[in-house]
Structure 1
Amino acid sequence: MTMEHDELLHMLDDQRRVFRIAMRGLSEAEARKRTTVSELTLGGLLKHLTWCERAYTHILTEQPGTPEGMLDVSQYTWEGGSFEELLAAYAQAARVTDEAVRATDLDKMVQMPSAPWDPNPEPWSVRRIMLHVLRETAHHSGHADIIREALDGASTTEQLYSLG
């Protein structure tokens, strides 16, 4: 493993931590509640980012077939299971992603699966896949912050600096 691996995983883990701040102290009902005109909920975002970690780890480790749920547009909604189980699944997916990244060369090229928006995708480096996961996590952290603030006034930024 290189310093670049360490830096990339450090930044991703830091963004995961910021995302999880929006989940602090939520009840099941709050995690399911829509607070904006969007269909997004905090639980739905958590489910999506769990899927994202799992799917891109599936791809970067070159497992056969399209990752389960990759084309499922319902992944932003969350119906079943407990919120605690969902949080645990996200933590587990992150651990598996980190292990996979540590075990591979960031320059390794991996064939991306086809999708309706890209039927003939080009291969991506493991580095690009991880930068995509980082971007996805950061993007949805912003959504989570807005949803949480609309829910109960909690500010991720305020909690980040007051609770660490």
Structure 2
Amino acid sequence: MTTNQSGERQDILDFLAKHRSFLRHTAQGLTDEQANTRSTVSELTVGGLIKHVSTVEQHWAEFAQGNGQSTPGATEYTPEVIAAWQDQFRLVEGETLAGVLAEYEKVAAATDELVRTLDLDAAYELPAAPWQPPGVFWTVRRVFLHITAETAQHAGHADILRESIDGQKTMG
């Protein structure tokens, strides 16, 4: 069996769409207050997870275009850097669930266009990080698979949070 590029690209798009749908479903019908509720012992919130997934997807999409090296990592973990990291997992002043969902839709549409157009075999070196040895390259294909895995993982987290808020489940 021969895999053609358009089939592979469609598979990636379908897989992304499925897990994005699960994530968005967890927010359906929530108020901003509920979307920002810590419903378990975790610091995570449904709205914050959607915001985080959107930010991470955008970062990886930039990497897939060869722009990953221009995003410097924090070299010093100051209280401000830690606070900014924590704020990506919750809605902060002025943010709404509708706003983070709208931003997520824009990011998703941009990523989908990259799935359709980028060379899936192009590879870029991962940025330096304490957990990453130098010289590791990821293909664009792997980046899109990683975005999907991140989305699926966080959709599961959001599902648990949502069930703790009002009993709604994505599946079952």
Determine which of 7, 11, 27 is the counterpart of 1:7.
11
The answer to whether structure 1 residue 73 and structure 2 residue 92 are counterparts is no
**2 CA distance for matches of 1:46 and 1:29?**
15
Greater radius of gyration (CA): 2
* Deviation string, structure 1 residues 37-68 (Cα, Å, up to 9, x no partner): 00000011011100111000010011251179
Alignment-mate amino acid for residue 142 of structure 1: G
The answer (yes or no) to whether the contact 2:34–2:165 under 8 Å persists in 1 is yes
Equivalent position of 2:40 in the other structure: 36
Matched, 1:143 2:147: no
Where structure 1 has 5 or more consecutive residues not aligned to the other structure, the ranges are: 159-164
Unaligned segments of structure 2, at least 5 residues: 75-80
Hey, which bits of structure 1, 4+ residues long, moved more than 6 A? Answer: none
Letter of the structure 1 residue corresponding to residue 70 of structure 2 = G
Out of 119, 126, 143, the position equivalent to 1:105 is 119
Task: Give the aligned residue type for 1:38.
Answer: S
Aligned residues: 157
Q: Residue by residue, what CA displacement relative to the aligned partner does 1:5-34 show, whole Å, maximum 9, x if unpaired?
A: 111111111110011110101100001000
- TM-score for the superposition, normalised by structure 1: 0.88
Cα pair distance change 1:5/1:67, threshold 3 Å = farther
User: Contact 2:73/2:129 (CA < 8 Å) preserved in 1?
Assistant: no
What corresponds to 2:64 in structure 1?
60
Give the TM-score taking structure 2 as reference length: 0.84
Give me the whole-angstrom Cα distance separating, in 2, the residues matched to 1:76 and 1:118.
Answer: 23
- The percent identity for this pair of structures is 39
